């Protein structure tokens, strides 16, 4: 049993490191093929690293590259993650950011186009896919992700407001550095980045599930074997057509768990009526896997 667990952990580690490498390639493509040629700023710490590069190029005798700046700016956040989240999370985050910095440095810019709208859209899409892929595989890309997790654990609140304020400063900086049209282009890139990331990373997209079945125990056992979720049971429901007894089950899952739910229902009761709808917000405890 211990050998099996070690094998699983090793497989998971290889998967996460491989994902970190893929993320590094994708963010370097976004940076060197689109953002840099188009004078577009990214969001979060990556955008701040770009800003540091621009400022040092223009006002200092030396230049701090975006690759180096990205890693150095994340160092305090690595320490925060090590102390407040978990050692494993901090290590994988460090590997991911190092891969991104290395790939940005190694992959030389290719000027496919300098059209700022094209660069904003495609750069945002490529980076959003890379970030979503990393999050989906249980690794963080550093930056404000770490701060968001710490704040959420301490206060129960998201980092949304801080994130928006930080990115607003990046957009304003783009306006001062390259002209106000470029602030608008950078804002377009941020929106595209967020949308593609949401499409790729579905773990935080919550769904309410209502199941009407005449085999409640079998369904509950099957779901809880596939997914770690609580289920609320409503007994003595009645079908209007045949007037037979039914049980209604309610649960909340993430969209990431949708395939597991479908497998559980196929195994337990493929004749059950299942209704699934998107949720705007959940109050109270909702289990999230540890990072």
Q: Domain residues of the chain, as ranges?
A: 2-200, 206-278
Average pLDDT, the chain: 86
Q: Please give the average per-residue pLDDT across 118-128, as a whole number.
A: 94
Tokens of 275: 């209704």
Distance CA 33, CA 85 (A): 34
Angular region, 88: left φ>0, alpha ψ -120 to 50, beta rest: alpha
Distance CA 74, CA 213 (A): 50
Sign of CA dihedral 69, 72, 76, 79: positive
Q: Is the pLDDT confidence value at 1 over 60? A: no
CB 231 within 8 A of CB 265: no
Query: Looking at domain 206-278, which of 3.30.1300.10, 3.40.50.300, 3.30.70.120, 3.10.20.740 is its CATH number?
Result: 3.30.70.120
Sign of CA dihedral 213, 218, 221, 226: negative
pLDDT of residue 66: 92
Q: Which residues contact 273 (CB under 8 A, 6 or more apart)?
A: 211, 212, 213
Give φ, ψ of 248 to 5 degrees. -105, 130
Tell me the pTM: 0.74
pLDDT of residue 250: 94
pLDDT (tens digit per residue) in 198-253: 778 766 678 899 999 999 999 999 999 988 888 999 998 988 888 888 999 999 98
Tokens of 184: 């608008």
Lowest mean pLDDT among 4-18, 32-46, 97-111, 124-138: 4-18
Q: Is the pLDDT confidence value at 152 over 80? A: no
Q: Is the pLDDT confidence value at 99 over 80? A: yes
């Amino acid at each position: 049993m211990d050998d099996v667990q070690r094998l699983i952990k090793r497989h998971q580690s290889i998967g996460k490191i491989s994902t970190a490498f893929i993320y590094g390639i994708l963010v370097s493509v976004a940076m060197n093929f689109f953002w840099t040629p188009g004078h577009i700023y990214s969001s979060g710490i990556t955008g701040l690293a770009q800003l540091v590069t621009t400022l040092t190029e223009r006002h200092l005798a030396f230049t701090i590259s975006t690759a180096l700046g990205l890693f150095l700016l994340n160092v305090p956040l690595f320490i925060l993650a090590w102390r407040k989240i978990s050692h494993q999370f901090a290590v994988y985050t460090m590997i991911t950011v190092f891969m991104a910095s290395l790939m940005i440095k190694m992959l030389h810019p290719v000027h496919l186009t300098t059209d700022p709208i094209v660069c904003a859209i495609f750069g945002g899409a490529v980076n959003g896919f890379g970030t979503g892929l990393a999050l989906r595989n249980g690794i963080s890309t550093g930056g404000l992700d770490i701060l968001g997790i710490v704040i959420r654990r301490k206060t129960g609140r998201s980092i949304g407001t801080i994130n928006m304020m930080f990115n607003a400063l990046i957009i304003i900086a783009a306006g001062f550095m390259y002209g106000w049209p470029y602030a608008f282009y950078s804002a377009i890139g941020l929106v595209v980045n967020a949308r593609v990331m949401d499409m790729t990373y579905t773990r935080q997209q919550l769904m309410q599930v209502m199941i009407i079945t005449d085999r409640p125990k079998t369904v509950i056992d099957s779901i809880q074997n596939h997914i770690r979720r609580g289920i609320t049971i409503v007994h003595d429901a009645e079908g209007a057509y045949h007037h037979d007894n039914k049980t209604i089950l309610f649960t909340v899952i993430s969209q990431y768990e949708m395939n597991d739910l479908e497998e559980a229902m196929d195994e337990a009761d493929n004749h059950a009526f299942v209704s699934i709808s998107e949720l705007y917000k959940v109050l109270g405890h909702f289990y999230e896997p540890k990072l």
